[in-house]
Amino acid sequence: MLRRSLFTGAILGTVMAVVAGPALAQKKDNTVRIAFFDPISMIDAVYDPKPETGFTANAIYDRLMTYETATGQFRPRIAESWTRVNPTTYEFRLKKGLKFHDGSDLDADDVVYTVNFVADPKVRFRIKSRYLFIKGAEKIDQHTVRITTKRPSVSAMMRFARSLSIYPSDVHGALAKKNTFGRKPVGSGPYRAAMVDPEKGIVLERVNNYQLAADYRPAGKVKRYVIKQIPSVQTQVAQLLTGNLDMMYRVPKDQVDNLRNDPNFGFTAQSKGLLIAYLLLDAAGRSENPALKDIRVRKAIMHAVNRRAIQTTLIAGGSDVPMVESMCFRNQAGCDFSARLPEFNPAKAKQLLADAGVSDLSLEITSVTSAPAAVPQAIAGYLRAVGIKASVTRLPFPPYRKKQAQGKIQALANPWASGGLPDVESTANFFFAPGARNYSRDPVITKLAKEGASTFEPNARKAIYKQLFDRVTEQAYIMPVATTPPVFVHAKGLHISEVGADETYGALPNQIWWK
């Protein structure tokens, strides 16, 4: 089913003798060399929101708190303590004596400035929705900040911990063009940016005596990261094989299969990542394909798809992680479910189509071009096997969003990473809040999503979301097709911790080290 890479096989036998030398040299120098596929322009996840920027931003900046996934607890970071004064008001007491990398003080002025900047309706950037719940921030004293939200939001703390990087108010505020800040970023994190250059790449250098080091947020272990843009998969693999790269992310499955058993390399598939491939169906009938309004047709489509085969044969690392069983993972805050997804059963799919009186169904599956084509193509193949005339249309992001807003998507096969949050509210809001993305238009689910977003007691919240995600499955609105774990192929002596698996990049720079 998969085409093997002739490139990797051809050069693998010729380079083994030279791998050990460069790799050992980098281990001795405590340097890790990484390549990014996407262009390098800045270290600022506000203006360049992608996994690679998330990795470098986690090195440079600090946030108010750390969310410790293993315990489900928020831990101190810039803030030493906090209180929810009421459902829409949070008060943070900041640690004293903190400094940015340029030596300037980090205090309430910087936190207030950053919060008000991202919340300002006049400030535009791509994923503004992450901060729309914020009303504003005010300074109580030099080390106390009060943040208010527009409505009760149970995921507010998670956003403060995972999305809100604190900027120095004097440096950032002085810029006429705020989107240039990431070219010469100033933060307070475990690494400083020694270079950010679109042509030459990024160099991150470890901060000695990192002021916020803790067991859950340690100082950097690697002395230096050297990051270059190499858009070609084959070139990255060649650089890895010849010892000129130490770590490769987003490795295609055929390359993984060729490299993972080689004794010169390590292989890490993060089992606690949040990325999934899903199939959404237009149950509301917005796309003028009325057959999809029939639950029997939707269930037939889902019974026709062999999820396990897709995960194990098309997804890198898919055979190393559990199957996803709902539109949330149990390690996410608020997640619970009991309903079972439709099992792979082509005969049942055909019977359901016959019961619905559908004998000539056409279905257009839309996906974005930034996502791998293999999953939507495989889904289409399985649907054609039960008599559905399935086709795939791949679109760049702007025309995809236009098509989505116009209600013209019949079926959508895309990746989803829970909005970068280990909390189910982001998923419930993304798919089921009123608006263009909602293709179920189920008032029961809309009501549950609203209740879940404003219920703070953990058990009551899980009970609400259990109803929501069970109904999604029972009504066959969206089917999670496969877990897509963060996968790394790397030098044998490099360790990539599971801590950080649920971050957008699947790893944290201060949780990687040479063994």
Residue 280, classed as helix, strand or coil, is strand
471-511 confidence digits (pLDDT tens)? 999 999 999 999 999 999 999 999 999 999 999 899 999 99
Average pLDDT, rounded, for the chain: 93
Strands (E), 187-287: 191-197, 201-206, 224-229, 247-249, 265-269, 276-281
151-178 confidence digits (pLDDT tens)? 999 999 999 999 999 999 999 999 999 9
pTM: 0.89
433-442 confidence digits (pLDDT tens)? 999 999 999 9
What is the strand order of the sheet 201-206 is part of? 191-197, 201-206, 224-229, 31-36, 247-249, 487-491, 265-269
If you average pLDDT over residues 281-292, what whole number do you get?
97
Residue 66: band (very low, low, confident or very high) from pLDDT cuts 50, 70, 90 = very high
Please give the helix or strand (H or E) that residue 414 lies within, else none: strand 411-416
Beta strands 389-395; 362-368: pairing state: parallel
Distance CA 498, CA 490 (A): 15
